[in-house]
Amino acid sequence: MLSALLKQLLNVLNPQDWPTEIVERLHGARVNNMNIENISRLILLCAQRFPKIYLLFDAVDECEAPNSRWKLLQFINKVLRELTIKVYITSRPCVSLISNRTRAVVFSVEAQSADIEIYIRSKIQHQHYAPSLENEIVAKLVSQADGM
C-alpha cells in the first residue's frame, strides 16, 4: 500500500523536482522491493514538495496481517507527528488506530437500524421470499448488525 502511495506522489511530481535522495535510492531499485522504512522515508521526502497532502486509508481493520496493519499504523502516526498532512482513516472501532501523541479527531459513525433494514429489503426484494421469511431475514440481520 505504501509503495503505491509513493508511486502516486512521484507520478504527480516532475522528475526534475524529485528530492536527490529519491533519485539515488531509486536508481536501479524497484519501489516494490524496498522495505517499509525506506518507502516511508521517501514518502516523507516527497511530501515536503507539496503544499497540502490528504491521505485516505479505508477499512484499516480489514488488513488481515497484523504485522502489516501495525506497520501501516506506525507510518500514519509518524506522518501525523512530522508533517502537515491530513489523514483520514476508516475502520471498525475494534482497531486502536492512533497513538495518544497525535492530534487526531475521532468521529464515530454507526448505521441506524432503520437504514440497515431499508438496505436489506432493497437487496432481497427480487428474491420473491414469502413475506414472513423476508421479515425474519430482515429482523435477524438487523439484530446482528451491531451498527455496522
Residues in the chain: 148
d(CA 79, CA 87): 9
Model confidence at 48: pLDDT above 80? yes
Q: Which residues pair with 57 in a beta bridge?
A: 89
pLDDT tens profile 51-94? 888 888 888 888 878 788 888 888 888 887 776 788 888 887 76
Return the number of other C-beta atoms located less than 10 Å from residue 5's C-beta: 19
Query: Is pLDDT of 101 > 60?
Result: no
pLDDT at residue 36 greater than cutoff 90: no
Grid cell for residue 24: 539515488
Residues facing 88 on adjacent strands: 56
Residue 7 has pLDDT above 90, yes or no: no
Distance CA 31, CA 66 (A): 22
Question: CB atoms < 10 A from the CB of 126, how many?
Answer: 7
- Is 148 a residue whose pLDDT tops 80? no
* Percent of the residues in the chain that have a pLDDT greater than 70, as a whole number: 84
